[in-house]
């Protein structure tokens, strides 16, 4: 059931994009109270926010004092979503300041808080901002990674506000966790670093042609979105994906299986919040088993002669390689998940593949008959190395993603404790 959302708006040019975010929330049935900072009204005025939300808009703690808004708004919220979150606003939130209605609301909120940063690259990369982001994350807030792209003026780089639809997807994912079983944490991947592969690799025959597959990357991106909504730091290694980048995710783009092997190895090893190996790697990409033994430098032309047979050579097994790395501690992800798209998903064959790959979980999903590549729905059977079998009925790919993360989170154990 839709709930109450506080939409905080920082003083950045990207504030105009939050009008679209507000529309998405209200049209989905959420009651949204917009709380801008005083300077945010220089970009989008009070009348616009009030008209779009149908709620009063104030920036200070002195309006309607009898209602104690600086306490009540945060107390009654199911989610606080701040977009754009400027460097100044996050610094004040990290320091626990309450100089306006928005920062006071953040202090009183006992619900999830999401920050969607937007600023120039130099401000985002400054050590002070990065320290504030780490502190907010350690306290349980979700701070999305900014998108990379055009900023104000002629500048480009990291610091662009993620697209409203992608922020909305994270927000609704967090709100959906309100219905979780009693006692389970809403952000059960908080403090965890995960790597997800997505899309389908391409193996070049010549500059024009390639060996590939129909994977769209939709399932991998659904896994990324849901992991962000559960508090994780997420890296996606995307092979030939033509989808908008999920909000809050670092995307590394690759083409071939060997490209993906290198990128996954880098992403999984010694990086992220604490400098250690990734907690989980989920290989949802469709990786080509074979590639041409040689790549032609020029386009192969039809010249009336019978072409030579295309010689193939085997690609590296990325999943098995990650599993092998775990055989020499300390190294490798704590939980390793493989995906297998099959036209004939027999349990015995799935068990054999699970053992051969050396992963903890194998997600076997059928393809064909309206399922699999390029569709919004999916179904699967998840086989565990511990002998468990989890049936996932046909439904949205986000639903399958949540089941996968439920199983991963159970194997990782409780979320990492916040620093004292």
Q: Are 59 and 91 in contact (CB under 8 A)?
A: no
Handedness of CA 392, 395, 398, 402 (dihedral sign): negative
Give yes or no: residues 170 and 210 share one domain. no
> pLDDT by residue (tens digit) across 297-336?
988 888 777 777 889 999 999 999 999 888 776 677 899 9
Note down the domain range covering 127.
4-179
> pLDDT by residue (tens digit) across 71-124?
888 888 999 999 999 999 999 999 999 989 999 999 999 899 999 999 999 999
- Three-state SS annotation for 39-80: HHHHCCCHHHHHHHHCCCCCCCCCCCHHHCHHHHHHHHCCEE
Asked whether the predicted pLDDT for residue 275 surpasses 80, the reply is no
* pLDDT of the residue at 330: 62
- Span of 156-170, 182-196, 312-326 with lowest mean pLDDT: 182-196
* pLDDT of the residue at 228: 93
CATH number of the domain at 237, please.
3.40.50.10300
Domain count, the chain: 2
> Which range is most confident: 34-48, 156-170, 307-321, 328-342?
34-48
* pLDDT of the residue at 304: 72
> pLDDT by residue (tens digit) across 205-264?
999 999 998 899 999 999 999 999 998 999 999 999 999 899 989 999 999 999 999 999
* pLDDT of the residue at 325: 85
> pLDDT by residue (tens digit) across 49-59?
999 999 999 88
Q: Which residues contact 374 (CB under 8 A, 6 or more apart)?
A: 214, 215, 216, 218
* pLDDT of the residue at 183: 45
- The last residue of a domain, from among 179, 206, 225: 179
257 located within any domain:
yes
Give yes or no: residues 222 and 280 share one domain. yes
* pLDDT of the residue at 69: 63
The confidence band for 176, taking pLDDT boundaries of 50, 70 and 90, is confident
Give yes or no: residues 387 and 241 share one domain. yes
Asked whether the predicted pLDDT for residue 398 surpasses 70, the reply is yes
Task: Please report, for residues 10, 20, 59, 89, 143, the alpha-carbon distance to residue 39 in angstroms, rounded to integers and kept in the order given.
Answer: 8, 20, 9, 11, 22
Catalytic residues: 213
- The last residue of a domain, from among 157, 179, 201: 179
121 located within any domain:
yes
The percentage of the chain sitting over the pLDDT mark of 70, rounded to a whole number, equals 89
Give yes or no: residues 139 and 232 share one domain. no
333 located within any domain:
yes
């Amino acid at each position: 059931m839709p709930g109450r959302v506080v939409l905080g708006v920082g003083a950045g040019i990207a504030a105009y994009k939050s009008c679209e975010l507000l529309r998405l929330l209200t049209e989905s049935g959420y009651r949204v109270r917009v709380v801008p900072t005083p300077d945010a009204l220089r970009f989008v005025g009070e009348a616009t926010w009030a008209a779009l939300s149908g709620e009063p808009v104030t920036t200070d703690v002195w309006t309607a004092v009898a209602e104690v808004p600086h306490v009540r708004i945060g107390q009654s919220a199911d989610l606080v979503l701040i977009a754009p979150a400027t460097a100044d606003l996050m610094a004040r939130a990290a320091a626990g300041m309450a100089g306006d209605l928005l920062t006071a609301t953040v202090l009183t909120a006992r619900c999830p808080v999401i920050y969607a940063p937007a600023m120039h690259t130099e401000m985002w990369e400054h050590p002070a901002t990065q320290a504030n982001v780490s502190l907010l994350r350690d306290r349980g807030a979700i701070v999305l990674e900014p998108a990379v792209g055009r900023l104000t003026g002629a500048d480009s780089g990291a610091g662009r506000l993620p697209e409203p639809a992608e922020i909305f997807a994270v927000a609704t994912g967090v709100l959906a966790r309100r219905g979780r079983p009693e006692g389970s944490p809403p952000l059960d991947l908080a403090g965890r670093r995960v790597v997800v592969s997505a899309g389908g690799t391409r193996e070049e025959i010549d500059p024009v042609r390639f060996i590939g597959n129909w994977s769209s990357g939709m399932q991998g991106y659904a896994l990324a979105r849901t992991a962000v909504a559960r508090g994780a730091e997420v890296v996606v290694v995307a092979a030939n994906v033509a989808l908008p980048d999920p909000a809050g995710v670092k995307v590394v783009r690759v083409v071939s299986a060997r490209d993906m092997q290198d990128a996954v190895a880098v992403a999984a090893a010694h990086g992220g919040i604490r400098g250690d190996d990734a907690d989980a790697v989920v290989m949802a990409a469709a990786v080509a088993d074979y590639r041409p033994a040689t790549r032609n430098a020029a386009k192969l032309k039809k010249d009336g002669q019978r072409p030579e047979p295309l010689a193939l050579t085997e690609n590296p097994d990325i999943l098995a390689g990650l599993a092998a790395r775990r055989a020499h501690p300390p190294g490798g992800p704590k939980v390793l998940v493989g995906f297998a798209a099959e036209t004939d998903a027999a349990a015995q064959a799935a068990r054999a593949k699970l053992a051969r790959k050396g992963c903890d979980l194998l997600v076997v999903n059928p393809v064909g008959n309206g399922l699999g590549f390029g569709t919004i729905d999916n179904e699967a059977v998840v086989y565990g190395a511990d002998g468990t079998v989890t049936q996932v009925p046909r439904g949205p790919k986000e639903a399958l993603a949540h089941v996968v993360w439920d199983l991963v989170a159970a194997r990782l154990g409780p979320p990492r404790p916040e620093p004292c």
